[in-house]
A and B are shown apart, each in its own frame.
Chain A
Amino acid sequence: MSENRSFGGNGDRPATPRRPMDGPGGMRRGPFGHGGPMAMMKGESARDFKGTMRKLLAYLGAYRWVLSLAILLAAASTAFQIFGPKILGNATTRLFEDLMGQIAGTRSGVDFAAIGRILLTALGLYILSGLLAYIQGWIMTGIAVDITYRLRRDIAEKVHRMPLRYFDGTSHGEVLSRLTNDVDTVNQTLSQSLGQIVSSIVSVIGVLAMMLSISWQMTLVALLIIPLTLGLVRFIVTRSQRYFREQQDYLGHVNGHIEEMFGGQVEVKAFNAEARSIRTFRNLNTVLYNSAWKSQFLSGIMMPMMNFIGNLGYVGVVISGAYLAMLNRITVGDIQAFIQYVRSFNQPLMQMANISNVLQQTAAAAERVFEFLEEAEEIPDPERPAIIERARGHVEFRNVRFGYTPEKIVIRNFSAEIQPGQRVAIVGPTGAGKTTLVKLLMRFYDVNNGAILVDGQDIRNFRRADLRHQFGMVLQDTWLFNGTIMENIRYGHPEATDEEVIAAARAAHADHFIRSLPGGYQMVLNEETSNISAGQKQLLTIARAFLADPPILILDEATSSVDTHTELLIQEAMRRLMQGRTSFVIAHRLSTIRDADWILVINEGDIVEQGTHESLLAKGGFYAELYNSQFAQLEAIEA
């Protein structure tokens, strides 16, 4: 089972940076997909193969009976398919004997009724086999698609139950890759490989049995090729693997270089670095070429070599068969059937050799999925939660100690008390960790020590939903989804009527611009929400907060790439939103800071100073230094 993750899972996992190319839709499985010549190469493997497989089987548990049926069908279908050549062989034998009899004068001619019967039997078997195979496929795709659906659903639901902390150490791309690539690999295995595995095992056993039933001597001859084949495969794989690795490595280097240089075209041009960049590129590209053709050539060599060995066996079988026929031990039809068996022996054998690779790949993919599903979740809400309808807005930090990881404490010992309706400015240089307080207030993270109290209650005593209901949030990176504007504003208060939504938009100074958009409130924001401007997005999130009407507010004043007019609107809207609410403002404007009831000065994550503007200036500390260096600048402009 998975190791006990004490730090929510981000401690012991090496953060594997995935290049953008590896994201969803990338070609992680290599150019040949699941079963190509490269499938003989060792792929990635799971750390805990058995455990993962057990979990996957448990997931499949609900389909136990249908699954068994599908396996049975696959086996039956293969068995019927295997009988075919034997029966067709009978037809040839019959034809041949009748013919010889006719020549020798012992038989009057070919008995077409008998041959017809044999052929019809064979045809019947083939139809049956095809039918069973299709039913098997039908069932398996059903199961596979269903499992895929469930895995995806479970991942999506899991996301909502995980602590935010988990995503500090895991990129979104990683989660997405599990959702698509990994789940897809499992899907592939279930819908295709599983049936293939069953049928190739049955094939090998069945064909072997049929061959033995015809002649053990010929079977022996046919089997001689197996060690030869295996030896050859091993030989070629070990040779080509080196080049294959090298090819993958250099493909990565070349693509990386392309990505970097195209992305840095401005710099390349500005610094006249074209020639140098091309030189580097050519070196990489040449190495890539050398390993690429070698690895492709070597993996391409396998098929003809196998063919040759296969034919070697084939000739051996024919000669030994003819010999046996000469001795009247077997019939011509038997030889014919046997030949067909020999031919159909190689493919399932190859597939069987590949099974472990497929299973390993699947296990690796499934492991990543299960790992995610087993990650620690948020601490559950208290069983008997404190009731909170609408907070007055009293907030207290009591000896708060917090760090994103236990080794790196950022907030050491912070206490402050904010009265209802007060305005708190959070101030500090970029990247100082101003959003940490916000994350703590809304319990996206829990404090390590101490407590945060809202209306005198430790926030951990509330249900998270109830607590968060008290907060409104307008952040710098506006989050809107691919839906209508109406839906986006209503996000904060799903039961709101259209009129309420419009009223909120009006309060946020958003109504005017919304009405000027094509479709107005019904306009659908596109996937990148690039069809409205950054400032407009901000107004929408303010409208959303208005509609939610929370007693406590968290605002980020930062506005970037917003024109002056919209900026004024945003400022005005924010000011109105703050009225009568306890507000925490990540402040960027001098006026906001000066007007704040309380200022928290943050540096390197910690609250280094707090107080009113005047008291902080008087103190002559970090804030005063920051403010004075700034103030002097601004005074100078007026000069």
Chain B
Amino acid sequence: MLRLFPYIRRYTFLIALAILLLFLQANVDLALPDYLSKIVNIGIQQGGVATSIPEFLSEQTYRRLGLFLNPQEQAALEQVYAPASAEQIADLQQRYAGLNEQPLYVLAQLPSPEMRSALSRALLSVSFLQRAQENPNLAAQLAKQMGANLPTLPPGTDLFAALEKLPPNMREGLVNGFRQRFESLGENMLEQMSLAAVKAEYQALGVDLNRLQRNYLFRTGGIMLLLTLFSALLTITVGLISARVAAGAARDLRDALFVRVSEFSMAEMERFSTASLITRATNDVSQLQMVTMLIIRLVFYAPILAIGGMIRALSTAPSMGWIIGLMIVVLMSIILGVFSITLPRFKLIQTLIDNLNRIMRENLSGMMVVRAFNRQDFERRRFDHANRELTQVNLFVNRVMVIMMPLMMFLMSAVTVLVLWVGAHRVAELRMQVGDMMAFMQYTMQIFFAFMFMSMMFIVLPRASVSGERIAEVLETQPSIQDPPSPLEWPEPFRGEIEFRNVSFRYPGAEEDMLHNISFVAKPGQMIGIIGTTGSGKSTLVRLIPRFYDVTDGAILIDGIDIRQVRQSDLRMRIGYVPQKSNLFSGTIESNLRFGDETAAEEVLLRALEIAQGREILTSRPEGLAAPIAQGGTNVSGGQRQRLAIARALVRQAPIYIFDDSFSALDYKTDLALRRALKKYLANSTIFIVSQRVATIKDADCILVLDEGRLIGLGTHQELMQTCDVYRDIAFSQLNQEALA
């Protein structure tokens, strides 16, 4: 995969940007549970009061607090709270609906942790005494619970005044008594209890607590929504980036592949095979596009989310971290377990499906034979066997796969239950709040999904990396035939004399030479016939001329210049080539004829058709030259296709022509007429005609006879009939065997 990086380097910045945005998004997504917990913790549980330190106090409470503080703490109190200015009061009234107009002390500076608990204790003591003063029975009951025995006081007693009047040492003893009792409760309990005191203080000052809570909920909810919106915007932006990067990378890779393949010579085409190159440029690129999207949106995101989630979960409740660890271990073992069982069988399934398809294909293509031999039952059994085999493996794999969903659902639920159980204990021990527990639960789920995504990538990535390798392999292949750095030019006029000088050729990877040491000269305007049995190297020889392959040894010279020293386009421009298997392109007859020369005049097209004996193709079609041609020319007959391919080459009016067994689909009459026309119209061109039929080449100026890659005969028909045994054999065998049809 990394080998492809150079081709998508231009997207580095966008990808980096996406990662940055993903960091932001992870933070936002992870902050959400925080707000959820705040809504429940503060909004619902604490009635919208965020901290146990009151933001403001009445003058009376301020003074009373002093009673329960030691001298240092009293000094600190003066730092923490200060008399409120008129503006401050107005501001408070804004935020705390219903707050009465009265002298207030406001929080001027956040207290130190020690001072904080001292304040809480003092506040609780004050509120306790206040309640005792209002309801002596309740106070006594409460005191009893706290382990103090308080005499029931008569109602109306001003306890604070009494306390003030006590001698300092006695008062200190009492205060210390309170302090010890509160300390035994623990910080959290203290916090929760003092929150109630704060609310009572606020209420006493006229604050509408319901509105306070509602405002808090709306504010926090609003922030939550903003965050979600932000998250959505981030996701959409990342989506935009990933879509553009993925589609762009696909476009660039496709482009690079296409350009590279069009530089390939036949050797590379054969090495990869056309079908495989097509798959690489289509399916593999699409595959990579999809994966690029996934990589940016999930592969990068999942670990960020997982790590962020863990950090937050652990900072919320470090003691419950083991639950997350356990969850990951179980999750991974389930996924690994299921996939280690199914993945190898997926490959098996593919083979079995191929097998089934193959039998079906055989049945379809051999339908006549199957019926001719009455073997339908045999074929039925053969198919059934393959079908059963496939069904069995399929059933097994599906049944293993089916376990995934319920197991995942259960794991998620079980983790929730576990968090609740362990969390409940922490909460009861006052080491945690309910909302924190719920936030922890949310983090766990986020981590769960992050790991699910990551494991999904283990399946997608290997497949993508195979695609990547396949593409890189093509891109890294240098075409074996390239233009020379300083190409030569042919002197005009171009004559078209072709010389093979000791040419040997071996297909890449082959063990033996296909052509051995071939030398001959084709003079301008000559017609050269090439004949030999299948596999004798006829086609190979002519394919060397347009440099579809390069000679292994020796040289081919045209007008005295080695063809490897000129530009490929310059060389091919001068050759009209008609391949053995004529391939037409989708479009019209005209677009196909113009394939060799876009600017050709219509008369040229028509004349080329006429020489190629193809005028009748036009007359049978009302659209004429504009008649549509399907891909590969499948909508015209084999003979018509061949004639169109010949006409296409003739449009170029080239000085050199190569007909590579191009008359095979023509009947003898057409073959003959065509050759006569060629002789007449292409009198100045050097023509190579490859054929298996003696009749086709017998009028050539010079005939090359090939046998197993060796040039064993060279001369005219008459000469060869005298001198070349192989040629004579071929000629006579065709006399006896030649097809009439």
Contacts and interface: CB of A to CB of B under 8 A. Distances in A.
B417 A119 contact: yes
Interface string A334-371: 01100100000000000000000000000000000000
A296 B293 contact: yes
Contact of B282 (A21, A179, A321, A479): A21
A199 B231 CA distance: 30
Contact of B569 (A272, A300, A439): A272
A187 to B, nearest CB: 8
Interface in A492-533: 492, 494, 527
A83 B417 CA distance: 13
Given A149-B388, A262-B261, A130 B229 contact: no
B357 A265 contact: no
Contact of A254 (B43, B254, B427, B731): B254
B338 interface: no
A547 to B, nearest CB: 10
B247 interface: yes
Contact of B286 (A31, A123, A259, A301): A31
Contacts of A102: 189
A495 B182 CA distance: 102
A9 interface: no
A265 B740 contact: no
Interface string B239-259: 110111011101100110011
A262 B277 contact: yes
A92 B239 contact: no
A149 B391 contact: yes
Contacts of B425: 112
Given A273-B595, A311-B224, A326 B210 contact: yes
Interface in A242-283: 251, 254-256, 258-274, 276-278, 281-282
Select the residue from B189, B254, B259, B264 with max chain A CB neighbours within 10 A. B254
Contacts of B247: 289, 292-293, 296
B417 A271 contact: no
A362 B515 CA distance: 58
Nearest to A94: B424
Contact of A634 (B242, B572, B734): B734
A296 B246 contact: yes
A265 B258 contact: no
B228 A311 contact: yes
A494 B372 CA distance: 13
Interface in B689-741: 694-695, 698, 717, 731-741
Interface string B405-426: 1110110011011001100110
B698 A636 contact: yes
A304 B734 contact: no
Contacts of A263: 274, 278, 583, 632
Interface in A290-313: 292-294, 296-297, 300-301, 303-305, 307-308, 311-312
A223 to B, nearest CB: 18
B533 A133 contact: no
Interface string B550-590: 00000000000000000011001101010100010110000
Contacts of A55: none
A153 B383 contact: yes
Q: Report, as a range, how many residues of chain B touch the other chain.
A: 35 or more
Given A95-B428, A103-B189, A164-B368, A133 B405 contact: yes
B11 interface: no
B488 interface: no
B741 A427 contact: yes
Of the candidates B414, B424, B632, the one having the most CB atoms from chain A within 10 angstroms of its own CB is B424
A332 interface: yes
Contacts of A175: 360, 364
Contact of B427 (A95, A172, A548): A95
A137 B403 contact: yes
Nearest to B694: A637
A274 B262 contact: yes
B27 interface: no
B125 interface: no
Interface stretch (B166-174, B306-314, B606-614, B662-670): B662-670
A312 B44 CA distance: 19
Contacts of B330: none
B534 interface: yes
B454 interface: no
Contacts of A96: 45, 434
Interface stretch (A42-50, A384-392, A577-585, A624-632): A624-632
Given A96-B434, A149-B388, A269-B546, 15 more contacts: A92-B420, A99-B434, A109-B428, A119-B417, A130-B407, A133-B406, A172-B364, A262-B269, A285-B258, A308-B232, A431-B639, A472-B372, A479-B368, A562-B534, A630-B738
22 contacts: A102-B189, A110-B427, A122-B417, A126-B414, A152-B356, A191-B398, A258-B254, A262-B261, A263-B274, A263-B278, A271-B596, A285-B258, A293-B243, A296-B242, A300-B297, A308-B228, A432-B741, A473-B369, A562-B534, A591-B737, A634-B735, A636-B695
